[in-house]
Structure 1
Amino acid sequence: MKKLLIYCLLTGLLSGSLQAQNKQAKVLLEQIAALHIYIGYVQDGYSTVKNGLDVIGDFKRGELNLHAGYFSSLRMVNPAVKEYIKVAEIIALQAKILQSSNNTRNLLQQDADLFNGNELAYVGKVYDKLLEDCERILNDLEPVVTDGQLEMKDDERMERIDMLHANMTDNYIFCKRFGNSTKVLAVSRIKEEMDIQNARALRGIND
């Protein structure tokens, strides 16, 4: 009877132990399966993210290349800009200013007795400053019409050329007016000198 009781107890304990082990094994298997599913999700998610990052990277590289191409195109001067009539006019006006200033200076040198030293120095300084400004305008014009110098749109280049043309035109107008006023002053002094000589001749006064 006692052996039977012990047997029954052992059987119950073993049965309970096996049932508990089976339950633990089942839970463990479920956890392992869930872990595999989670790992799959993680791998799929990583792959998706990586692909997404690759796409973004490709897009950014393409966008960067697009921007680089755009800015490179800004450095190239449209032939229509280079052939803009005001470009040639700026150069022609500068040549006229140089010719006019040289003519006036040569005239004053030939009639140096009509002007004193301070007056000649003043005229020389005025023309020097004028020619310096003309040179500045040409220096500003060069990169506007030269490839690879400035990043500018066509309309921006045209506006800059218009501004430089206006500046050179102002210089030309000033040069002509200053030269004419200097010549008028020279003619006036020549006439004054001739009037004095004629008056002396009429009076019989010799130099």
Structure 2
Amino acid sequence: MKTKIKVISCLMCFLLVSAPARPAEKAAALPILEIVKAVTKKVIKAIDIGIQRMQNKTIWLQNAQKQIENTLSKLKLNEISDWTKKQRDLYKDYYEELQKVKSIITYYQRIKEISIKQTRLIEEYERAWSLFKRDESFKVSELQYMEKVYDGILEESMKNIDQIFLIIDSFTTQMSDLKRLEIINKAADQIDLNYNDLRLFNQQKVLLSLQRAKTDADVNKVKQFYGIP
């Protein structure tokens, strides 16, 4: 996974450095955007597969648990104590594994929530940026500045994806639940911060466009353009 992250990071750097300079009004999607979108989709797909596997394992373990309970119900009271004593070590693994699997499913669902928030961030960026580029009230230099801000936010969100990969990998390594939960919470807090920063930045630019409107008719046009009630 470290190799994967390094490859992604190198690819990001290559695209950002090699991208030719161009006027902001003609700018295509930021190179890093395509990387973030592709990796986010891959993460969500991996999580869905992981959840499905864990759910299947849960069903199997629950069935095993029922079989144990059925066996116990058929035994006489004086046999139960002796039977459970002999089989305790053998069957306790089923119960422990079931709890472990349920915990992993909870982690996966939490990771998916973070990934979905990441997708919302991308969608919010694409929606706002497509409008700002067509807003004639903004100068080329202002659009170039916006592009740099968006680039920074997307780069930060890419770090969150690296954290998600780390969490997914942790299920096959010796990582404590406390450490895993710490990484999940950190990634969740960071993506919330990135998303809120993006929305605030977009709101400020829309407000700036409204302030530049000279007449009430212009204000109404700007509101209609940005879908403001």
Length-normalised TM-score, structure 1: 0.51
Deviation at 1:147, TM superposition (A): 5.4
1:78–1:154 Cα contact (<8 Å) kept: no
> Matched residue of 1:110: which SS?
coil
Distance 2:120 2:187 in 1: 16
Cα drift, residue 127 of structure 1: 0.6
Which residue in the other structure is 2:153 paired with? Answer: 130
Aligned equivalents of 1:100, 1:86: Cα separation in 2: 21
Cα pair 2:170 2:180 within 8 Å, conserved: no
Query: 2:184 maps to what in 1?
Result: 161
Cα offset, 1:115, TM superposition? 0.9
Q: 2:199 aligns with which of 155, 176, 187?
A: 176
Instruction: Kindly provide the CA deviation profile for residues 141-174 of structure 1, in whole angstroms up to 9, marking residues without a partner as x.
Output: 1121235665311121011101111111111111
Secondary structure of the equivalent of 2:169? Answer: coil
Unaligned runs of 5+ in 2: 1-99, 219-229
- CA offset at residue 136 of structure 1? 1.2
* Equivalent residue, structure 2, for 1:106: 130
Aligned letter for 1:103? R
CA contact (8 A) 1:81 1:158 kept: no
* Distance change in 2, residues 1:78/1:135 (3 Å): farther
Aligned length: 118
Instruction: Summarize the alignment of residues 86-101 of structure 1 with structure 2, pairs less than 5 Å apart.
Output: 86-101=110-125
Q: Separation in 1 of the partners of 2:217 and 2:171?
A: 65
Structure 1 vs Structure 2 CA RMSD: 2.4
Give the match's secondary structure for 2:190.
helix
Give the drift of 1:119. Answer: 0.5
- The 5 A counterparts of 1:12-27 are none
Deviations 1:85-132 (A, max 9, x none): 431221111111111111111111221x21111110010110111011
Q: Distance in 1 between matches of 2:171 and 2:110?
A: 21
Match 2:175 to one of 138, 146, 152: 152
Shift of 1:140: 1.6
Identity of aligned pairs, percent? 23
Tell me by how many angstroms 1:187 deviates: 2.0
On the 8 A contact 1:87/1:161 being kept in 2, the answer is yes
**Structure label with greater radius of gyration:** 1
C-alpha separation in 1, matches of 2:207 and 2:194 = 20
1:143 paired to 2:205: no
Q: How does 1:30-69 map to 2 (within 5 A)?
A: none
Residues 168-197 of structure 1: per-residue CA shift (max 9 Å, x gap)? 1111111111111111111222x22x3698
Residues 55-112 of structure 1 deviation map (CA, whole Å, 9 limit, x = unaligned)? xxxxxxxxxxxxxxxxxxxxxx95524533431221111111111111111111221x
User: Retained in 1: the 8 A contact 2:125–2:150?
Assistant: yes
